[in-house]
Amino acid sequence: METLQIYLPDYFFLALGLILFLYMATDGYNLGLGIFSLAARHEEERGLMISSIAPTWHASQTWLVILGGLLFGAFPVAYGVAMSALYIPVMLMLAGLAFRGTAIEFYHESPRRARWGLAFGLGSLAATLAQGFILGGLLSGMPVVERQFAGGFGDWLNPFSLLVAAGGTAGFVLLGTTYLAMKTDGELRQRALKTGAMAAWAVLAGLSMILLWMTLQQGRGGFSLLSLKQGHYIYLTLPIFLFEFAMLQRSLKREEQDRPFQWSVLLFLTLVVGIAAALYPTAVPPGLSIFDAAAPPRSLWFLFAVSAVLLPVMLAYNAWQCLVFRGKAEQGGESNY
């Protein structure tokens, strides 16, 4: 048991990475679709967009709740530091998600759909940008003294986090538009495919600028993800990313049914794996490791037992939900299956 106990922080590091990917892949297309809905030409179009995600968005958002709960339970020190440093963007994210969720629930019941449609789009945009600032603020590095955040009030707001927020927004729009292309037909599908192609190029440009920024920061002696012991591992994922990008562009040009969304999800998986490989074993850059931030062994064992049951159930439920609501979307939140 003592031998296994040594690897518990590693297990939770991997589990958090998996949950982060699942959240980005599932709720990411909901948020991206919300942003794309701001360009809807009429309310019927926006209503169809909302209907395409109405049956599934609740479960997608659950991954974010599990992510926060598992981070708090497994790495309470990292949770405390991150919440102290990122309080403002976290609150903005929650406000955006609240607006988005309320708009989805009330849109088809209100005689004034345009207002709820606008709330759906703006809430999605606010939540997406806030999540980008959270990730960018974390990867920018957080000074920690005696296991407490020792930085400034607005350290999360910097040019690097702005780049990450912009790139993340483009990535979610890519997920949202390729998902919409999978769920609809006609003119709306054509516009979604064209927007998806542009968003894909924006993602590639954003990633290039982020890597260039980190390389220049390291060259000047400043902190970046590349300054970590395994930071250069993120470069190892670039050939895989470029291959997936090429396949995504090919599927978009051929106007394939499901492949564009599938390749978009794989792009996010590659990025999450690259970031996780570069960070390990760091919980909060630059110096707080997962071993220093981990909860006591009893807490980790309890969480291990709970997560070993909960995660398979959640995965099975999400897979079943996707199977049930597969097919094209219709007005009113129904799908053909």
**pLDDT tens-digit readout, 68-102:** 999 999 999 999 999 999 999 999 999 999 999 99
> In total, how many domains does the chain have?
1
Please give the single-letter amino acid code of residue 57: W
In-domain check, residue 167:
yes
In-domain check, residue 236:
yes
Task: Tell me how many helices (H) and strands (E) the chain has.
Answer: 14, 6
Using CB atoms within 10 A of its CB, is residue 149 exposed (0-12), middle (13-18) or buried (19+)? buried
Query: Could you tell me if residue 186 is left (phi over 0), alpha (psi between -120 and 50 degrees) or otherwise beta?
Result: left
In-domain check, residue 177:
yes
In-domain check, residue 160:
yes
Q: Which pLDDT score, from 0 to 100, does residue 335 have?
A: 44
Tokens of 192: 């979604």
In-domain check, residue 333:
no
CB atoms < 10 A from the CB of 320, how many?
A: 11
d(CA 28, CA 142): 26
Stated length of the chain = 337
In-domain check, residue 227:
yes
Angle of helix 297-324 relative to helix 8-37, nearest 10 degrees, comes to: 40
In-domain check, residue 337:
no
- Residues 11, 292 contacting (CB under 8 angstroms): no
Mean local confidence (pLDDT), 32-50: 92
**pLDDT tens-digit readout, 221-262:** 778 888 888 888 999 999 999 999 999 999 999 999 899 999
In-domain check, residue 334:
no
d(CA 313, CA 324): 16
Tokens of 53: 């995600």
State which residues form the domain around 99. Answer: 2-328
**pLDDT tens-digit readout, 111-157:** 888 899 999 999 999 999 999 999 999 999 999 998 899 988 889 99
Calculate the dihedral angle through the C-alpha atoms of 315, 317, 319, 323, rounding to the nearest 10 degrees: 180
DSSP-assigned letters across all residues of 223-290: --GGGSTTTTHHHHTHHHHHHHHHHHHHHHHTT-SSHHHHHHHHHHHHHHHHHHHHHTTEEETTTEEH
